[in-house]
């Protein structure tokens, strides 16, 4: 029962923080630490990947029309707006895919409740959000160079504590990209990577290595999916209204509290 309750809490945290720019992976690591999660690094990362898969599915639901446009663009026989957007999505995936494949073991080791790393990366996230909220004249569209730069931001956001949505949306806004397009591009560009990671784990047998935790994984998955539906829609409105400063303050506050708790306890 304790494992199921822990999975429920982690799922809700993931669903809310995946789309809000406060680092879902960072919050999961902090939550695991507070909940005294004793999972091995690989098992802990499996829970994290499963929860991310759930929020990827919620992204498919919220952005089903945009995703249909992406597929239409990929298989179009002429170069148009949909085609450009689709190939920019593919281009943005390259940096994170390369980093994930080349440094998989090193990345796995980071998901072991490294509280100080998470805290300092949350500070970096807060600074990005603070700068992005002050960007003006955001009316450009995503181009090849900006797609690659946003992709590099996503690759850096593999670090727990760096918000993926915060890093990619902030980078987009700082590049003067339209705020709604920045939000949709940010959420769509991670979906293929998450499905790719999940497929790799299935082929490697990683999902069945810890089969005793399948009920907990299922509970976390459902919780993350449902809470993610609400958070995704909310985040789109917040980005359009330039309300990122409050999340910046929140990141600073969580980082400060985490550091104090780490030092004292």
Cα–Cα distances (Å) from 123 to 40, 127, 135, 149, 220, in that order, read 27, 6, 19, 21, 27
Token pair 């100080």 is found at 116
Structural contact between residues 23 and 121, judged by C-beta atoms closer than 8 angstroms: yes
- Distance CA(9)–CA(16), nearest Å, equals 11
**Distance (Å, whole) CA 224 – CA 220:** 6
Report pTM. 0.81
Q: Quick one: average pLDDT of 105-127? A: 86
Domain map (residue ranges) of the chain: 2-264
Task: Check residue 103 and report its DSSP letter.
Answer: S
**pLDDT tens, residue by residue, 125-156:** 999 999 988 887 778 889 999 999 999 999 99
Average pLDDT over residues 59-85: 78
CA distances to 58, 120, 249, 256 from 260, rounded to whole Å, are 35, 12, 17, 6
Q: Is residue 177 helix, strand or coil?
A: strand
Q: Burial, 57: exposed, middle or buried (Cβ in 10 Å; 0-12, 13-18, 19+)?
A: middle
Mean pLDDT of 197-201: 69
Residue 208 pLDDT exceeds 70: no
Residue 68 CB partners (closer than 8 Å, separation 6+):
none
Residue 163 DSSP symbol? -
State percent of the chain over pLDDT 90: 26
- Which range among 21-25, 106-110, 120-124, 181-185 shows the weakest confidence by mean pLDDT? 106-110
| Each residue's pLDDT tens digit, 159-181 | 888 998 899 999 999 999 998 88
Q: What is the pLDDT of residue 3?
A: 76
Query: Is the confidence at residue 76, as pLDDT, over 70?
Result: no
> What value does the mean pLDDT take over residues 29-44?
66
> What letter would DSSP give residue 142?
P
What is the reported pLDDT for 175? 93
Asked if the model's pLDDT at residue 40 lies above 60, the reply is no
């Amino acid at each position: 029962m304790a494992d199921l309750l822990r999975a429920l809490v982690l799922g809700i945290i993931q669903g809310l923080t995946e789309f809000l720019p406060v680092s879902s992976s960072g919050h999961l690591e902090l939550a695991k630490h507070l909940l005294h999660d004793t999972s091995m690094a690989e098992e802990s990362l499996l829970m994290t990947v499963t929860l991310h898969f759930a929020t990827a599915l919620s992204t498919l639901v919220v952005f089903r029309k945009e995703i249909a446009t992406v597929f239409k663009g990929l298989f179009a026989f002429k170069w148009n707006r949909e085609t450009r957007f689709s190939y920019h999505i593919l281009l943005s995936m390259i940096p994170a895919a390369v980093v994930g494949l080349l440094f998989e073991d090193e990345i796995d080791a980071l998901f072991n409740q490294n509280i100080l790393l998470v805290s300092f990366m949350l500070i970096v996230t807060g600074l990005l959000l603070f700068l992005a909220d002050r960007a003006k004249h955001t009316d450009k569209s995503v181009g090849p160079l900006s797609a690659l730069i946003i992709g590099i931001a996503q690759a850096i956001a593999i670090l727990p504590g760096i918000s993926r949505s915060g890093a990619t949306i902030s980078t987009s806004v700082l590049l003067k990209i339209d705020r709604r397009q920045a939000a949709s591009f940010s959420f769509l560009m991670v979906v293929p990577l998450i499905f790719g990671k999940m497929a790799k784990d299935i082929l490697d047998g990683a999902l069945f290595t810890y089969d005793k935790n399948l009920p907990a994984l299922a509970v976390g998955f459902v919780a993350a999916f449902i809470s993610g539906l609400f958070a995704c829609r909310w985040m789109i409105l917040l980005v359009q209204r330039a309300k990122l400063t409050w999340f910046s303050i929140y990141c600073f506050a969580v980082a400060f509290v985490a550091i104090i708790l780490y030092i004292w306890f």
